[in-house]
Structure 1
Amino acid sequence: MAVRVLPLPPVLVLPLLLALVASVHGYGGYGDGKLRVGFYKDSCPDAEAIVREIVAKAVHKDPTANAPLLRLHFHDCFVRGCEGSVLINSTKGNTAEKDAKPNHTLDAFDVIDDIKEALEKRCPGTVSCADILAIAARDAVSLATKVVAKGEWSKDGNLYEVETGRRDGSVSSAKEAVKNLPDSFDGIRKLIKRFASKNLSLKDLTVLSGAHAIGKSHCPSIAKRLRNFTENRDSDPTLDRAYADRLRRRCWRPKDKTTELEMVPGSSETFDTAYYGLVTKRRGLFHSDEALLRNDVTKGLVYRYRDSPETTFLRDFGVSMVNMGRVGVLTGSQGEIRKKCAFVN
């Protein structure tokens, strides 16, 4: 049983985050069409370092860039799996995922393009756009975490190790994005169904919802929740009334797309467990946040992450990101390695 354990200080030991066992998980060695940590060790040794360098520059220039990079990986994996289709441009005959309504607020495509350009110069036709998304998401969230910033997590500053070896898909459909992407107005039953369709558990649902610890939204995303949620045109009854009043004052124009709303007020650039504290107070920005309190398992996990050491959540987040990163992957001779992420070869 081959095990890789990140070298951490004793207080932050990561218990077998990626105990990769090919016979159990179906992911194995280089060249066999399976995901593995260090897939590019021989073919492009500097791949992850190049991604990290460009992500770090982007986040240094704009501290809010970490959330969009994380979202790109999420939105990719929930439609057709983690195969880079969210990056493909629309054509005259096809409206692609990135132009679907749920994806209109996606950003950081330019960062992915910069990474791809650098990798094509170093290792032409080798590193997939799908893998770039996975690595960039890991690096973005790691850089937004205090324990990494303080050098207290691991020697390379990564919260978890990314399995690589994905290849890129060639189909991108806006209709599929609308059908498959979790919605901010989803209730708990629909959320459970969406995640289960990707073989993701209730724990994965709760942990990955913690990605709302960073980032911002805009008034149209919550307009219905503030004014027209019920037939009586009332606000969402699951939203704390005082918080709803505060949000209404900020979003006095429901269609205002310029006013930014922090997912976690005062902490939207730091990846931590503050999000779960807001959820327990019914102050999560989205209805889907409060929905976590409507199931005994997810509710218990919300309170656990609120009350436990932050490292408990960070460890579990890494595990769930690896789980999500396995959804619907193309490997081996499947798919392609796109030369430019926005275009099929």
Structure 2
Amino acid sequence: MMFRYVIGAMLLMGMVAKGFRFGVDAVSMNYYIMSCPMIDGIVRDAVSRALQDDPTLAGPLLRMHFHDCWIQGCDASILIDSTKDNTAEKDSPGNLSLRGYELIDNIKDELEDQCPGVVSCADIIAMAARDAVFLSGGPIYDIPKGRKDGRRSKIEYTINLPFPTFNSSELIRVFGQRGFTIQDMVALSGAHTLGVARCASFKNRLSKFDNTHEVDPSLDANFASTISKTCSAGDKAEQPFDASRNDFDNLYFHALQNKAGLLTSDQTLFDSPRTRGFVNGYAMNEAMFFMDFQRAMVKMSLLDVKEGAKGEVRRDCRKIN
């Protein structure tokens, strides 16, 4: 436990020492220090209670944060419900398996009781993901706050989410377009140390893979048999990314070394010379993975943040004010 606190403290001190700027003028670590000073405790306690009831929720919270930030920035557009006139992001095929909405609602309700009209839903998502990482055994880190909530959510925007069939070159390209380095991308992929994927996301590797191979040749034969059995239950059947689905650790990278990456976009990180070195480094040194992951998470949490009049603080996370 103490080791993880030290890693987080080192990251924050390093940011200060190097004059780290968040690149977004309206956000800061102390954004709510006067208006809602108890926010961190409220969010962390709520996430802790939720994970005690359902330890599998950590992965979905992290995934929700990524899916929110990747489309239109970290603005809680993923939370907006569809209406008769608009189909929202959450109802796109790639988002139908997202979970954790009720927890975000509960946190919002508690914060509205304590600090009405102050805390954005976008900040709640980012903080819940941060706390899910730590409470699952990962590093402790802080994120700047002050994001505003967006005012639109459209299903067509979700076409820009990375596909589970992407190879390393495609991943490097799409992450690079958003300002991430190759190292950032591999570290963020390590989020797959938590959670599961549905068969629909990896069945492409099990049948008619290409013109030469029926099964993806990068798959370990025993692992191919395992996930084939999983898929016998249908497209919604779930398979953990690694052997410790509820623990934040570096076993995901060990799985890649053993040809047991679940998605094409997972295993490609080990198969490609451009990314293999990072995989091997993180498999060997968990502390290095933790350090790079939290740095990349802070970076991701600031994607296209809405500021001032460009956003709002929703009263209800599921609908625009």
- Structure 1 residues 164 and 11: alpha-carbon distance in aligned structure 2, compared to 1, 3 A threshold: closer
The partner residue of 2:284 within 303, 307, 316 is 307
CA distance in 1, matches of 2:3, 2:238: 37
Equivalent-residue separation in structure 2 for 1:338 and 1:39 (angstroms): 17
Match 2:120 to one of 128, 133, 139: 128
CA distance in 1, matches of 2:6, 2:115: 38
> Cα deviations across residues 200-223 of structure 1 (Å, max 9, x unaligned)?
111110000000001112222222
The aligned length equals 319
Q: Which residue in the other structure is 1:318 paired with?
A: 294
Contact conserved, 1:292 with 1:302, CA < 8 A, in 2? yes
How far has the Cα of 1:11 moved from its partner? 7.0
The offset of 1:9, in angstroms, is 8.4
Cα distance in 2 for partners of 1:171, 1:338 equals 12
- Structure 1 residue 13: deviation in Å? 7.1
1:37/1:163 contact within 8 Å kept: yes
Aligned counterparts of 2:204 and 2:265: Cα–Cα separation in 1: 13
Q: CA deviation at 1:27?
A: 4.5
Shift in alpha-carbon separation, 1:20–1:34, aligned structure 2, 3 A = farther
Q: Give the unaligned 5+ runs of structure 1.
A: 1-6, 147-157
Q: What is the SS of the residue equivalent to 1:37?
A: coil
Partners of 2:59 and 2:201 in 1: CA distance: 16
1:85 aligns with 2:77: yes
1:171-192 alpha-carbon deviations (Å, 9 max, x no partner)? 11111112x1111111112111
Change (3 A) 1:12 1:167: closer
- 1:136-161 CA-to-partner distances (Å, cap 9, x unmatched) read 00000100016xxxxxxxxxxx6111
1:212 paired to 2:192: yes
Gaps of 5+ in 2: none
Matched, 1:262 2:243: no
* Whole-angstrom distance in 1 between the partners of 2:305 and 2:5: 34
For 2:252, the aligned partner's letter is Y
How do 1:167-246 and structure 2 match up within 5 A?
Answer: 167-178=148-159, 180-231=160-211, 234-246=214-226
**Which of the residues 30, 37, 48 maps onto 2:40?**
48
Which of residues 285, 289, 296 in structure 1 aligns to 2:273?
296
Taking every aligned residue pair, what percent have the same amino acid on both sides? Answer: 39
Aligned CA distance change for structure 1 residues 300 and 164 (closer, same or farther; 3 Å): same
Give the structure with the larger helix fraction.
Answer: 2
Q: Where do 4+ consecutive residues of structure 1 move more than 6 Å?
A: 7-11
Answer yes or no: is 1:287 the counterpart of 2:287.
no
| Cα distance in 2 between the residues matched to 1:38 and 1:339 | 22
In structure 2, distance between residues paired with 1:236 and 1:113: 41
Structure 1 length as normaliser, TM-score?
0.87
TM-score by structure 2 length? 0.93
Q: Secondary structure at the match of 1:217?
A: strand
Q: Distance in 1 between matches of 2:293 and 2:242?
A: 18
- The residue aligned with 2:12 is 17
Offset, 1:106: 0.4
Once residues 256 and 166 of structure 1 are traced to their aligned partners in structure 2, the CA distance between those partners, rounded to angstroms, is: 36
Deviation at 1:250, TM superposition (A): 2.7
Question: Retained in 2: the 8 A contact 1:159–1:315?
Answer: no
CA change 1:136–1:11 in 2 (3 A) is closer
Q: Hey, what's the Cα distance between the residues in 1 that align with 2:105 and 2:22?
A: 31
